[in-house]
Structure 1
Amino acid sequence: MIGIAFDLVLCALIVSVALAAIFGRDLFGSVVLFIVYGLLVAMAWTRLGAVDVALAEAAIGAGLTGVLLVGAVARLRRQDVPEPRPMRPVARAALVAIAALVAGLVGTAIIGLDPAATGLAGNVERRLEASGVGNPVTAVLLNFRGYDTLLETIVLVAALIGVWSLAEDRHWGDRPGLRQHARHQGVLATYGRFLPPVGLLIGVYIVWAGTDQPGGAFQGGTILAAVWLLVAMAGLAEAPAVTARSLRLVVLAGPALFLVVAAAGVFADGFLVLPTRYAKSMIQTIEAGLALSIAATLALLVLGPPQRGTR
């Protein structure tokens, strides 16, 4: 009974916070509610036993996306862009009706599912040993359906290129983001000195454990990106110029390594086919490269386009 009561309260909170974020009159307040919504959804995924999805939602859905939205609101205010006018009641009612219709269709589809059906879980379990890893999510993302993950990493690089393209011509080649200032003995500077080692250990562990336990490159890479951003926000280290060769190599290392491993499979059974004997070590190598690239790419996306000199 306690578990059911908790789930009902959690569902009510998710719906309430979502509605508050949508209908909020203040942009910053809506962004904060969006972050809270992401954390609540992560709790819901945990209750459903989908720990990998919960980690991704907390790190990327709530954490990274929330920081991006906070940065967007701050940029709008610095440029004196007026906040959008509140939606008219008719438009709000139409959105609520559409959302209710979609929710009803999804609910109907879920109720119509066969309770005894397992989907593709059986196929994954039967092939899990051949994948070389013990985590079925990692097996699907980096072995059975590696195409999807490979394209996702390329999309991240394309998004970073899009953000960099927003830079003014006079700033091209400069450092990304604005210069950060923090009091030497302030809270942010203190966190910037003490938290990064802990975050680094957690990020590396989540990447390493992802082969057999919940975790992986995206979750671990997001934590590593947060470590870099904390150090930058504390004013302890400057982000390199966007034209720095080392920075570009790190951004491209993960997708490039993934493509090399995928192409090597052609000499075995086919593109992106990992030999069972070497599958685990190959997946761990891909995950390590992807984690570094994802961390650098996500941090650079948050920092924004080049807009300050290298001196």
Structure 2
Amino acid sequence: MNLLLDLALVAWLVVLALHVARTGDDRNAIVAFIAFGLLLGLAWTRLGAIDVALTEAAIGGGITGLLLLRAEAHLRRGRQADGAPRQGGGAKTIVAALASAVVALGLGLAVLAFPSPAPTLAQPALAAIDATGLGNPVTAVLLAYRALDTLLEKVVVLLALLGVWALTPDNLWGGAPELKEANPPQPLLYLARTLPPFGVLIAVYMVWVGADAPGGTFQAGSILAAMWLLVMLAGLSPAPETRSRLLRLLLVGGPALFFAIGFLGFAVAGGFLAYPKPLAKALIVGIEAALTVAIALALGLLVAGPSNKAPAR
């Protein structure tokens, strides 16, 4: 039975991938891409990688899909205003498909070339986990063993947001993006009023248990961002002005705290991003909490796009 489920899952993933690549309708392709991300999360679950599955479902199937839908709507409005038809892919599509096939084949050959059993650092990671006070080895890797990588990833998210804000016209700088639909449908309003409390509760739970079980910052931040976007799309709450000092403080607060604790490590633990053993877990959970807020705001504002309303005087 499990084998049949796995084969069906792989088949659906292949079908959806081909559909995304072949369909000529942008929105259709994006919806299929979202479904692909959700099924891929299920595939990671079948492989026992729960943390990866949660991230794929939240980022790949959720936030990225919403970002693509926003981009598609913007491009469609531009084409309608210009009266220009959508251009077909033609030779570019074929070249992209061939390049993707070559990359996929290369990755497959690389994986098959691994010795059996494949080399792993799982045992050393588990052996040193007691020093972090954590129970989840994935969190230990992200916030302790490879904390610098995680810190730089958060900085990249902020840089991406700055890139989006840089597209704001000068006369609208510091204003707010507009996400509200002209006439929000009743199901959207219902979901926007019903889901956010549950989403916030789930996000808090994922941050709290992430130290010892699957969960963590990116997953929780993605859920919070999705709930926030839902509320803004329904028009229940406007998007904040980007000149808001509180907004900017919360955006940089997570990475800033990460940096501060990292430099504190020189004084108390002998190195950058080194944690004193008695306080390691508390510091890591504190970093995760601050990063969750920053990630939620950054992801939500990335989807919202640049400001298209002038700041209030």
Task: Give matches, 1:198-209, under 5 Å.
Answer: 198-209=198-209
Task: Give matches, 1:53-202, under 5 Å.
Answer: 53-80=52-79, 82=84, 84-88=86-90, 91-182=92-183, 186-202=186-202
Residue equivalent to 1:50? 49
* Counterpart check, 1:7 vs 2:6: yes
Quick one: which amino acid aligns to residue 287 of structure 1? E
Cα root mean square deviation, aligned: 1.7
The Cα of 1:83 is off from its aligned counterpart by 5.9
Residue equivalent to 1:295? 296
CA change 1:169–1:282 in 2 (3 A) is: same
For the 8 Å contact 1:178–1:308, the answer to whether it is kept is: no
For the 8 Å contact 2:54–2:219, the answer to whether it is kept is: yes
SS in structure 2 opposite 1:175? coil
For the 8 Å contact 2:232–2:238, the answer to whether it is kept is: yes
Task: Give matches, 1:7-46, under 5 Å.
Answer: 7-46=6-45
CA–CA separation in structure 2 for the residues paired with 1:265 and 1:230: 39
Return the TM-score normalized by structure 1.
0.94
CA–CA separation in structure 1 for the residues paired with 2:238 and 2:95: 47
CA–CA separation in structure 2 for the residues paired with 1:142 and 1:303: 29
Query: Alignment identity in percent?
Result: 45
Moved more, 215-224 or 233-242: 233-242
Partner deviation per Cα, 1:102-129 (whole Å, 9 max, x = no partner): 3332222222222323511111011111
* Counterpart check, 1:261 vs 2:268: no
The Cα of 1:177 is off from its aligned counterpart by 2.9
The Cα of 1:310 is off from its aligned counterpart by 4.5
Return the TM-score normalized by structure 2.
0.93
CA–CA separation in structure 2 for the residues paired with 1:243 and 1:96: 42
CA change 1:181–1:250 in 2 (3 A) is: farther
CA–CA separation in structure 1 for the residues paired with 2:182 and 2:258: 38
The Cα of 1:240 is off from its aligned counterpart by 1.6
Segments of structure 1 that go 5 or more residues without pairing to the other structure are: none
The Cα of 1:85 is off from its aligned counterpart by 2.5
CA change 1:118–1:189 in 2 (3 A) is: same
Residue equivalent to 2:219? 219
CA–CA separation in structure 1 for the residues paired with 2:76 and 2:101: 33
Moved more, 139-148 or 107-116: 107-116
CA–CA separation in structure 1 for the residues paired with 2:126 and 2:119: 11
Quick one: which amino acid aligns to residue 262 of structure 1? G
The Cα of 1:40 is off from its aligned counterpart by 1.3
Aligned pair count reads: 308
Residue equivalent to 2:274? 273
SS in structure 1 opposite 2:277? coil
CA–CA separation in structure 2 for the residues paired with 1:124 and 1:100: 34
Segments of structure 2 that go 5 or more residues without pairing to the other structure are: none
Partner deviation per Cα, 1:47-101 (whole Å, 9 max, x = no partner): 000000000000011100000000000011122264652233x554444443333
SS in structure 2 opposite 1:5? helix
The Cα of 1:136 is off from its aligned counterpart by 0.5
For the 8 Å contact 2:179–2:233, the answer to whether it is kept is: no
CA change 1:95–1:304 in 2 (3 A) is: closer
For the 8 Å contact 2:179–2:232, the answer to whether it is kept is: no
